[in-house]
Chains A and B, each alone.
Chain A
Amino acid sequence: MSDNLIEIKGVRHAYQTKSGPLPVLDGLELSVPEGGFAAVVGPSGCGKSTLTRLIAGLMKPDHGEVWLHGELVKGPKSTVGMAFQNPVLLEWRTILQNVMLPLEIVPTKLSKREKEDRARRLLALVGLEGFEDKRPSELSGGMRQRASLCRSIVHKPEVLILDEPFGALDAFTREDLWQTMHKVKAEEPFTGVLITHDLRESIFLADQVVVLSGRPAKTQYVMDVHLTGQRDIENLYTPESAEALNILRRQIQIAQGRTDEHEDGR
């Protein structure tokens, strides 16, 4: 058995629609070692969200296998944390109560006091100190997403699945959250999969970028990211980053079925 925490092998899946089966995944491969952080990019509608549901055990693929920690995924596991583009906070709960939600469901040995302390510590870590007793409707979009992030890691999941969590935020808030992500990863190490359509985000946050082809998606290209030193936004403006972005951009064009000639209109 390999020492990868997440291992996806030859996954194929099709949705049943009125006009026959609609294949979304066809030959998906993904390996993430413990502590690794993989970003998955690809054309829109290529089945990226299906991938998150597969890892979370919310659905089973037609063919192929999804392994987590050497165990075949057959159903939902409490060792997974999820955050979506829509922060889906529960409006009737305070921010603190929202973050504590997973601890009410996942069995833990923590006392009520310890649960609350942990939630408060995470909120402080993402810069939401002082907002614990506010309702989600009183927070901005970026703050809600921070709270959603806390909720996804509060129960120390083995795998963190982020499905375009920063997609609906403005560019500045997004960059703030990227840096928050690095802070969180340093304090609360996790193994993660990030679905995104932002190439800069993928190389800034992840150590591995996986490009999926257009639908039905297969793993088309895998890039290891070596951004040296402490990750700060400056790192995105080095020649190495520009080169990596350029390679990824070309891979996306291939995935979209576009060649250079078409793109340049020559």
Chain B
Amino acid sequence: MNLRNILVPVAAILVFGILWELLVWANDWPNYVMASPSDLPPAYTQYWELFIVMGWQTLWRTVVGLVLAIAFGVFLGMIMGFSRLMRDALYPLLVGFNAIPKATVVPIVALLFVGDHNFNTILIAFMISFFPIAVSVSIGLSTLEPEYRDILRSLGASRTTIFWKIALPKTLPEFFGALKVAVTLAFIGTNLMEIVSPHGRGLGALFDSGKTNSDYPLMFAVLIALALMGIVLYYVVVALEKIFAGWAERSPGY
């Protein structure tokens, strides 16, 4: 990691903030139309305790939902990757399930498990994010070149050995690609639930209270906080990918 790797994205963020500020200033928009970056620091200093408490609630529920999505997605992907029958059987079901807008599922879940706010939120985060993981793992496993399997099978290796030695590591790049998508999706799921359900918690609920009070700077401050958390989680995944699937990255020139 050199200085350039840090300076370039920071400069891009600064430019974005300046353009945003200029846009609001040039149009002379009041606070209740659109907040500008200079409105954000007061919002943060005023509500910093809320941001920490609510931000933590959003974060841990997103992460738990994501972990569940990984476990279930990998399991489902393995079943579909190894068995043609299961793939044929489950694919339409899965695609149909994924096609349902999760915003419509939120009120159903909220009614089903009324009062269980943590559980509901985690459930939505999970439901929205397991799909890409399942699909990528199943494709990774089912497109394993037969020669790889033959090399090990001809040595008398068991199916489990083949899975651990070849299928699993070979699927890791696809898995991490899907995980990057799933991280952002899980955030969307958590916030959907937090915003929609009455007496919700987390940053979504903070956003909702900003809306009720016409506190536009607060609403924008929540958006920026969400974006920051999203960036942090995303780069956690990138770091994990470097550790476990760094081999898939080709150095430039090859």
**Chain A contacts to B: CB under 8 angstroms:** 53, 56-58, 75-78, 80-82, 84, 86, 88, 90-92, 101-102, 104-106, 135, 137-138, 151, 155, 161
- B-side interface mostly: helix
- Compute how far the CA of A80 lies from the CA of B248 in the bound complex, rounded to whole angstroms: 30
In the assembled complex, the CB of B198 is this many whole angstroms from the nearest CB of chain A, namely 49
- Compute how far the CA of A75 lies from the CA of B155 in the bound complex, rounded to whole angstroms: 10
Does A155 contact B155, Cβ atoms closer than 8 Å? yes
In the assembled complex, the CB of B104 is this many whole angstroms from the nearest CB of chain A, namely 42
In the assembled complex, the CB of A45 is this many whole angstroms from the nearest CB of chain B, namely 17
Residues of chain A within 8 A (CB-CB) of B145 are 86, 88
In the assembled complex, the CB of A159 is this many whole angstroms from the nearest CB of chain B, namely 10
- Compute how far the CA of A77 lies from the CA of B145 in the bound complex, rounded to whole angstroms: 21
Residues of chain A within 8 A (CB-CB) of B148 are 88, 90
Q: Report which of B154, B247, B250 forms a contact with A92, defined as CB distance below 8 A.
A: B247
- Compute how far the CA of A77 lies from the CA of B156 in the bound complex, rounded to whole angstroms: 6
- Compute how far the CA of A138 lies from the CA of B254 in the bound complex, rounded to whole angstroms: 8
Q: Report which of B147, B169, B245, B247 forms a contact with A135, defined as CB distance below 8 A.
A: B247
User: Can you name 4 extra interface pairs (CB under 8 A) apart from A80-B155, A91-B170, A91-B248?
Assistant: A56-B150, A76-B156, A78-B155, A101-B152
B151 at the interface (CB under 8 A from A): yes
- Compute how far the CA of A170 lies from the CA of B172 in the bound complex, rounded to whole angstroms: 32
B153 at the interface (CB under 8 A from A): yes
Known A58-B150, A84-B147, A88-B147: A102·B169 in contact at CB below 8 Å: no
Top 3 nearest A-B pairs by Cβ distance?
A: A92-B247, A56-B154, A78-B156
Does A58 contact B169, Cβ atoms closer than 8 Å? no
Contact pattern, B 234-254, Cβ under 8 Å of A = 1, otherwise 0: 000000000001011010001
Closest B residue to A136 by beta carbon equals: B247
28 contacts between A and B (CB under 8 A): A56-B154, A58-B150, A75-B156, A76-B155, A76-B156, A77-B154, A77-B156, A78-B155, A81-B154, A82-B151, A82-B154, A84-B147, A84-B150, A88-B148, A91-B170, A91-B248, A92-B245, A92-B247, A92-B248, A101-B151, A101-B152, A101-B165, A104-B165, A105-B152, A105-B157, A137-B254, A155-B155, A161-B154
